[in-house]
Chain A
């Protein structure tokens, strides 16, 4: 018995198990990430996963969903779009100023509410001077002459347009747009979230 234990300790089997388990974990992460990526729809830089949380999803998809969006609502209950990139694929950063323009009548259709939340890239809200981490359908947004709505994503207040300002942190950030009880245009895929554009 003692000699078996000594062999196990000497042979490297224990180290092999530790190395194998770590590789297994990393492989699982890579597979789940790539399944999530394959199931993600990205339009104008905004990504959304529509199939999560449904009974009957396969082993790979439900693992990918649990990793990407643990305990997320089914899509009919709430649609979520996230982005860490502007419309040209550059990472969103507090060093730049951005505008998110919803054309007239193109705010997310819904039966409950919509909201746009600013977080760090991991998903935590960041404090700011005006204590605002989201803009939503209750915000008194100013409309442009043609009925479109501009939301300003930048560190410093846009003079005269503070109502439409969602302050960004100094570093890279992530935006999450939510539509609870998404409308038919969202469910059938015809609704597109406009791109985040760098201010000129």
Chain B
């Protein structure tokens, strides 16, 4: 669907504008008053354009949220506060509408949607032994990447990270790194390097070990 809109956006727009022109022409020809239509159109236009621009990042991330928590990536919806590792790299055989088909075949992707209202989460990352990886934490309200865990920022060693929402003031367990989120919702996108086909099982094994658990539950067992 997205692909069709992208490909045929201009002809589609021309058709819609032609329909509008026809509607307006019919009103004028029929002798009806055109002023209410024009006033409504101008007001909605002037208010709507900035509103669309302001909301665009949120709408975009919202699309990914729906993809994750409603549809998933082939194995059913991905529960909130969990991460899903895609078992293969993007390829031409991917369905045409798939978000996956636009990535790079050098990476395994992970995805997850977090809601931090009920308390912080602990992210566990296995020993990546020098392998490139990254976990990108995106704020849905402005689509900014407010934090990264991975080769560039934290290195490739095993680690545990506490991700907390705004207003949390508990204490971070020793040995864990704190990642404060500006909002309660977070989109996480992970990328794990895959050298080639024969490296895929190793990379996928590591990607699957990147996991989330509530901090609360952990606290009880300590």
Contact = CB atoms under 8 A, between A and B. Distances in A.
Contacts of B222: none
Interface stretch (A96-104, A117-125, A150-158): A117-125
A63 B56 contact: yes
Given A24-B52, A124-B102, A138 B45 contact: no
Interface string B82-103: 0000000011111010000110
Interface string A90-133: 00000000000000000000011101010100111111100001
A166 interface: no
Interface string B193-209: 10110000000000000
A66 B60 CA distance: 7
A72 B193 CA distance: 17
Contacts of B154: none
Interface string A46-64: 0000000111110110110
B164 interface: no
Interface in A23-82: 23-28, 31-32, 53-57, 59-60, 62-63, 65-67, 70-71, 73-74, 76-77
Contacts of B25: none
Given A11-B33, A67-B56, A124-B3, A53 B144 contact: yes
B149 to A, nearest CB: 11
A14 B51 CA distance: 19
Contacts of B3: 122, 124
A127 B92 contact: yes
A71 B16 contact: no
A77 B136 contact: yes
Interface stretch (B34-42, B69-77, B114-122, B166-174): B34-42
A37 to B, nearest CB: 15
Contacts of A111: 132, 151-152
A19 B20 contact: yes
A132 B24 CA distance: 52
A19 B104 CA distance: 39
A70 B139 contact: no
A38 to B, nearest CB: 15
Contact of B45 (A20, A59, A112, A180): A20
B134 interface: yes
18 contacts: A13-B37, A16-B38, A17-B41, A20-B42, A21-B44, A23-B41, A24-B51, A31-B49, A32-B53, A57-B142, A67-B60, A70-B61, A74-B145, A77-B136, A112-B151, A127-B92, A128-B92, A134-B105
